[in-house]
Structure 1
């Protein structure tokens, strides 16, 4: 029977050594250093994403909302000129505005009878 490739002595010398591998400390330190650098890079990326999210939600999004509300408010008052804008007032300033006319003497006849009543204590 013919010898297969795995049984030849040349193949054993090149690929399979019978002696156990020696532990290479320099290679181990290199792997540990690369793992630590990768972990550190990952943590820096996560922290950067968190920081960017905090800045966006604290400053950028509220600014965009205020800007868009102001724009839509201006557009609303342009389309409805009969409505007037509330003017900003100083704190403590009092103004009295009459909304409609009250006519107390104009009561219809068919409303019913007026009944007087007293509080009983």
Structure 2
């Protein structure tokens, strides 16, 4: 038997076409939002990278200044100048005093033989 009213085929195609169009538009919007989010993250990472480079540059400059100061303070002329002015040290050897310390053994020790060591260990 035939249906008296056949279903029009163009309505079915239009429904699927609308669904695919909706799906395509949502995918395009989602990809655009993802691109914006990724670009934002890239900007944040780049700014952190440049801040770390700036920090490394200032650290290198500080290290260079500290090395110059260390070389200046440890130079022989500077050490000699500080020794003369602050510590009153001179190269004049006329007022040197020699102090001798005699180490006196209070106990006389005789060499220990292996037999003595064994008997001491047993006791």
TM-score bin, normalised by smaller chain: 0.3 to 0.5
Q: TM-score, normalised by structure 2?
A: 0.41
Higher-helix-fraction structure: 2
